[in-house]
Amino acid sequence: MRISELARESGVPLATVKFYLREGLLPAGRRTSATQAVYDQDHLARLRLVRALTDTADLSLARVRSVLVGLDSPTLHEAVGHAHSALSGEPGDVDTETTGAQIAALGWVVHDGSPALAALARSLRSLEALGLTMTDAELAVYADAAARVAAADVRSVPTGSATEAVTTVVLGTVLREPVLLALRRLAQESQARMLWDGLSPDAGEPGSREG
């Protein structure tokens, strides 16, 4: 397969394929002469993966690069860590004391410098600053939902091949996020319709009751 065929097959413009090659997001093809190379199915798969990460998961090319690096992790644990770092960014200088305690209270065992913990602390702090503090009960509902999803994720990892397991873990972590968010929005839409439909706020009560 030559580069133009790779571009055509994937739907990615040729100039962009060349750009990805330059940026190291796509490995070089096998050289057949000084100025020629051929590409295989792995290149095509990688190219499709890069586009899925940029388009679907909305990652920057820098984050895509770090996700790709994560695919070379020797252990599943390290693979998860890589994917989380790629998604959460650097831990930064947030105070994770109280948030860490809340997480520990759930019986969860997480690393102290976990980027996800820092991201959670930042998000909660941000909500508080706007007067939208989440109660412990609300957080517990979120945590329970997150645990259920994570359990499904962990269960879905194939036990056969190690590299296949790592791939599933990393890509599942990244690419299922938009699925969860879209489902939350759909659930909100559906429940909002059932609870609030036909009720007008100017008429008095918005009408939110426990469901």
* Cβ closest to a second copy, residue 34 vs residue 204: 204
Q: Residue 75: which of a second copy, DNA, none does it interact with, CB under 5 to 8 A by kind?
A: a second copy
Q: Residue 21: which of a second copy, DNA, none does it interact with, CB under 5 to 8 A by kind?
A: DNA
The label of the residue with tokens 């290149």 reads: 43
69 binds DNA (CB under 7 A): no
Residues sharing a CB contact under 8 Å with residue 207, sequence separation 6 or more, in sequence order: 195, 196, 199
- Listed in sequence order, the DSSP H helices in 24-96 are 41-55, 61-70, 76-88
User: Within 10 A of 66 (CB to CB), how many other CB atoms are there?
Assistant: 16
Rounded to 5 degrees, φ, ψ at 198 are 85, -10
Binding segment (CB under 7 A) for DNA, from list 28-36, 67-75, 80-88, 190-198 = 28-36
**Cα first-last separation, the chain:** 57
62 binds DNA (CB under 7 A): yes
Q: Residue 9: which of DNA, a second copy, none does it interact with, CB under 5 to 8 A by kind?
A: none
Among 1, 38, 71, 76, binds a second copy (CB under 8 A): 76
User: Within 10 A of 34 (CB to CB), how many other CB atoms are there?
Assistant: 5
60 binds DNA (CB under 7 A): yes
Task: Detail the DSSP E strand segments found in the chain.
Answer: 30-33, 36-38
- Pick from 187, 168, 167: which is nearest to 179 by CA? 187
Among 15, 34, 42, 55, binds a second copy (CB under 8 A): 55
**Cα 174 from chain centroid (whole Å):** 3
Shortest Å, Cβ 37 to a second copy: 24
Name the packing angle between helices 41-55 and 61-70 (round to 10°). Answer: 130
5 binds DNA (CB under 7 A): yes
Instruction: Please state whether beta strands 30-33 and 36-38 pair in parallel, antiparallel, or not at all (unpaired).
Output: antiparallel
* Cβ closest to a second copy, residue 28 vs residue 179: 179
Binding segment (CB under 8 A) for a second copy, from list 16-24, 33-41, 49-57, 61-69 = 49-57
Shortest Å, Cβ 2 to DNA: 3
Q: Which of residues 85-104 bind a second copy (CB under 8 A)?
A: 87-88, 103
40 binds DNA (CB under 7 A): no
Positions touching DNA (CB under 7 A) are: 2-5, 13-16, 18-19, 21-22, 28-29, 32-39, 54, 60-62
